[in-house]
Amino acid sequence: MDDLSNFISHFFSPAAWSFLKAIGEACMTPLGFLIWTTLLKSAILLGIILGLVSYTVYAERRVSALIQDRLGPNRVGWQGLLQPIADAAKLLFKENFTPKNANYFYFRLAPKLVMIPPILVMGVIPFGSSLFGVPMTIASINVGAIYVLAISSISVYGIVLAGWASNSKYPFLGGIRSTSQMISYELSLALSIVPVFMVVGSLNLNTIVQYQVEYGWMIAPFWPQGMSWDSLLHPTAAWQAILAGIKLRHLLLWIPLIISFFIFFVSMFAETNRLPFDLPEAEQELIGGYHTEYSSMGFALFFLGEYTAMIAGASVITTLFLGGWSFPLIPDGSHGWFWGLVNIAVFFAKIIALLFIFIWVRWTLPRFRYDQLMKLGWYFFFELAVVNIFLTALILTYSK
């Protein structure tokens, strides 16, 4: 090691070398270590997310084509795999047009406000257990879930601003629809996950995932404690462990958690403006809604923002209900870097499965009518979510 550093030092002036050494030492102090690992994690996660976004667009086009008995984009590269890159190049070279009577500042601000919040949401999501002892969360904060809800609602401002600043009637209608839709669904979205916090007793997303590692995923909370590969080799012990996992309390808790999952999942469709709740951008009625007046990268940011929101939404659903990075019988990252990578892969596999469901539902269901959507939000999901909280409280109080 010393030989190597001596060798490298020949390439630098003494002053520069001592500066580099100082930086190297600063990186090994606890604070320095935290800073550089966090920056590295952020960069890698951002890269993965943006890559996933562009290939979600590709997947959307291919899957929709298959569902409609078509082929979809299959020309650029093998099976059209380079299509997202070609699309990005095309959008970059287009003219970035601002309408004459648009409010320039807000018109340009709006696309950024749609794209950034979903990326910020990813900052608190535990996307893996740990790798080389570094926890795979960028920020493990105690208000994680509240942060997710607060930040993800910001993107509605982007849509409303775009609708207003474009100074055009279709974006305006899209903006209005978006506002009322968000008010109807944010309530049930936030209230529906309260049972999860009541069961776990924490808002920290890491703690929620850790709970699910021990007791099983929130949508099936029966995972027996102490189950491992070894116990599978002894059938009687395994059977007893499984029976021990099924308790009356868990069976009862299952009901509110399934309801909670259902409401959250459906509200997430509304939150991300996906069909059947894509009223703000209804192509047939509003010729694109809030992004009608946008071209080039302004449009691309709205378009990719929608898919980033889908990914953020899918990762929140995964973290809260589908066990985050955990999978039965797969140990966490403390057993070696390989398992750490497997955990990350499991997390992204779950996200991709959810994204597929998002796409699948989009190409199956027609759009809700406006009053039907409001009715569903206010008369049905809101009440169900409130009742669900009390149901959970009763079960938690009276069952052991």
Stretch near another protein under the rule CB under 8 A, chosen from 192-200, 248-256, 329-337, 357-365: 357-365
Please say which residue, 239 or 360, places its beta carbon nearer to another protein: 360
Min separation Cβ 262 and another protein, Å: 9
Is 370 a binding residue for another protein by CB under 8 A? The answer is no
Count of beta carbons in the 10 Å neighbourhood of residue 254: 17
The CB-of-245 to another protein minimum distance in angstroms stands at 29
Asked if 92 is part of the footprint of another protein (rule: CB under 8 A), the reply reads no
Nearer to another protein, 12 or 360 (CB): 360
Interaction with another protein in 190-209: which residues (CB under 8 A)? none
Instruction: Decide: is 86 part of the binding site for another protein (CB under 8 A).
Output: no
Q: Is 246 in the site for another protein (CB under 8 A)?
A: no
Q: Would you count residue 68 as binding another protein (CB under 8 A)?
A: yes
- Fill in the DSSP letter of residue 381: I
Closer Cβ to another protein, 105 or 360, answer by number:
360
Q: Give the nearest distance from C-beta 185 to another protein in angstroms.
A: 17
How many beta carbons lie within 10 A of that of residue 90, not counting itself? 11
Number of helices (H) and strands (E) in the chain: give both, helices first.
Answer: 17, 2
Q: Contacting another protein (CB under 8 A), which of 23, 71, 244, 394?
A: 71
Q: State the Cα–Cα distance between residues 389 and 256, nearest whole angstrom.
A: 8
Q: Which of 46, 48, 63, 396 binds another protein (CB under 8 A)?
A: 63
Q: Contacts with another protein: how many residues (CB under 8 A)?
A: 13
SS3 358: helix
The contacts of residue 2 (CB under 8 Å, 6+ apart) are none
- Give the C-alpha separation, 308 to 290, whole Å: 17
DSSP 8-class letter at 272:
T
Asked if 329 touches another protein (CB under 8 A), the answer is no
Q: Are 325 and 126 in contact (CB under 8 A)?
A: yes
Residue 271 to residues 79, 190, 280, 310, 314, Cα–Cα distance (Å): 32, 11, 11, 9, 11
Least Å from the CB of residue 286 to another protein: 24
Of 106 and 356, the one with the shorter C-beta distance to another protein is: 356
Coil/strand/helix, residue 1: coil
Token duo for residue 191: 């209230």
From the number of C-beta atoms within 10 Å of its C-beta (0-12, 13-18, 19+), residue 166 rates as buried
CB of 364 to another protein, least distance (A): 5
- In angstroms, give the least distance from the CB of 293 to another protein: 30
Among 23, 27, 35, 66, binds another protein (CB under 8 A): 66
- Least distance from another protein to the Cβ atom of residue 276, Å: 9
Decide if 192 contacts 234 (C-beta within 8 A): no
Query: 119: Cβ–Cβ under 8 A, 6 or more apart, which residues?
Result: 46, 49, 308, 312
Q: Segment near another protein (CB under 8 A), from 3-11, 240-248, 292-300, 358-366?
A: 358-366
Interface with another protein (CB under 8 A), residue from 176, 252, 361, 389: 361
In angstroms, give the least distance from the CB of 79 to another protein: 12
Residues with Cβ within 8 Å of 367's Cβ and at least 6 positions away in sequence, in order, are 275, 276, 277, 278, 279, 282
CB of 70 to another protein, least distance (A): 5
* Nearer residue to another protein within complex by CB, 142 or 372: 372
The correct pick among 69, 89, 132, 397 for binding another protein (CB under 8 A) is: 69
* 369 contributes a contact to another protein by CB under 8 A: no
Options 17-25, 60-68, 102-110, 318-326: segment touching another protein (CB under 8 A): 60-68
Confirm or reject binding of residue 363 to another protein (CB under 8 A): yes
Measure the CA–CA gap between 212 and 209, rounded to whole angstroms: 5
Could you give the C-alpha distances from 35 to 22, 48, 172, in angstroms and in order?
Answer: 15, 20, 43
Judged by CB under 8 A, which of 40, 364, 379, 394 binds another protein? 364
Alpha-carbon distance 62 to 56, whole Å? 10
Indicate the residue among 55 and 262 with the shorter CB distance to another protein. Answer: 262
Binding region for another protein (CB under 8 A): 63, 65-71, 360-361, 363-365
